[in-house]
Amino acid sequence: SVTYGTVVNGIRKSGDSDWALNFLRTMEDRRIEISVMIYNMVIDSLCKNGQMDDAFDLFRRIESKGILPTVVTYASLIHRLCVLGRWSDVLELVRDMVRRKISGNVVFFTILIDAFVKDGKALEAKEMWEEMIQRGLVPDTVTYTSLINGFGMHNNLDAAKQTFDSMVSKGCLPNVVTFNTLINGYCKSNRVDEGMKLLNEMSRRRVVANTCTYNILIQGFCQVGNIDAARKLFREMLCKGPHPNSITYSIFLDGLFKNGKQDEALVLYDKMEKNGIKIGIVGHTIVVHGLCKDGKFAEALHLFEKLTNKGVKPHVKMYNVIISGFCGIDFLDEADKLFKHMKEVGCKPNNRTYNILIRAHLKNDDISKIIELTREMRDRGFSAD
RNA sequence: GCAUCAGACCCUCUUAUUG
């Protein structure tokens, strides 16, 4: 059973949850006992894969086999439901837990607090916090970091800093994620200087800054137009680390484009290709978008075609950039054609895709097209801006 | 009995070079 667990865990890390499911079936058919932890791992991987229906099927199946779900089982399901914003389903599961007298632990409450706070549901988050304390549970570094993140996301940096200070005073030590979170809050509010102060405080506290720390700061500098400082950090990463990853390159490229340094961005992009540095679809999208904004749609389109020919799979945002580019030069037929194409290859348009197209057709007074798009949009549960 | 399973941080798209 331990060995099987290792195998399932391996499958889970590979992200192939269908495989894990089949594996479970095989074990069940051979009447090998499977512990609830193994089921938990598979349920969690299904959730992370977005296969909620399969996850619930398995959840019900283990119940029918007489295996009792644990708080971990519920935590995995609830976590994903929160991310999807399916609050009524969350409530239903929580009631289910209460009915079965399965009580939440710190991780469980942290999941809910994090989700509420991210969704701007401060009241509910506070309720969960109080409930947690009332039960004698002690918030840990992750709990505090979630709070700090929530406050940062809503530009309430005073509250974020207060939370940071109070965790320290309670003997709960901030780790690199805690620092990154607070730094990110300041950077997103155009206060990268405060972020740099925290970078110094990190070393004072013997917390080692990682790639993510630098990524956040580089973006912070780009956002306030201080490309020189961003470049300095980027070069520091190249020569003494922490090593840049594809997100670092994306952030820096985006910063260069948005600050009018198209040439430098393109030089870097070329250099990356020559040196075999992989950049993901996000990075490619940044470059294609940067070319569009610079009025070089022909080049953008050329790059887009080159990438797709190389087998790079565009995603919605990439299609949106190109569709928007066609609209910008009044090639609505081409925009419509690409829109059709993306759907044919199974790339689901999002809210923004429709808004781009509707806006373009509005300019052309193409009423029937607008009606068609609006209807299709509504059918998919989107709304116009 | 304990442990192994669940939780926190970073990038791109419309309106928008002019809000």
How long, in residues, is chain A?
A: 385
**A323 CA – B9 C1', rounded, Å:** 33
- Structural tokens at position A135: 């039960």
**A287 CA – B6 C1', rounded, Å:** 38
pLDDT tens digits for range A100-133: 999 999 999 999 999 999 998 999 999 999 999 9
Compute the distance between CA of residue A315 and CA of residue A82 in angstroms, rounded to an integer.
24
Nearest nucleotide to the CA of A110, by C1', is: B7
Nearest nucleotide to the CA of A118, by C1', is: B8
Compute the distance between CA of residue A299 and CA of residue A304 in angstroms, rounded to an integer.
8
> What positions of strand B are covered by protein, i.e. any atom < 7 Å from a CB?
4-15, 17
Q: Whole-angstrom distance between the N-terminal and C-terminal Cα of chain A? A: 53
pTM for the model stands at 0.90
**A60 CA – B19 C1', rounded, Å:** 52
Q: At A13, is the pLDDT very low, low, confident or very high (cuts 50, 70, 90)?
A: low
Non-local CB neighbours of A242 within 8 Å, separated by 6+ positions: A209, A210, A211, A213, A214
**A285 CA – B14 C1', rounded, Å:** 15
3-state secondary structure of A140: coil
Find the mean pLDDT for residues A199-224.
97
Beta carbons within 10 angstroms of residue A261's beta carbon: 18
Nearest nucleotide to the CA of A72, by C1', is: B6
Compute the distance between CA of residue A194 and CA of residue A379 in angstroms, rounded to an integer.
46
pLDDT at A383: 78
**A155 CA – B19 C1', rounded, Å:** 21
Closest listed residue to residue A20, CA positions, set A33, A7, A1: A7
Compute the distance between CA of residue A343 and CA of residue A357 in angstroms, rounded to an integer.
14
- Structural tokens at position A323: 């569709």
pLDDT tens digits for range A53-95: 999 999 999 988 889 999 999 999 999 999 999 999 999 999 9
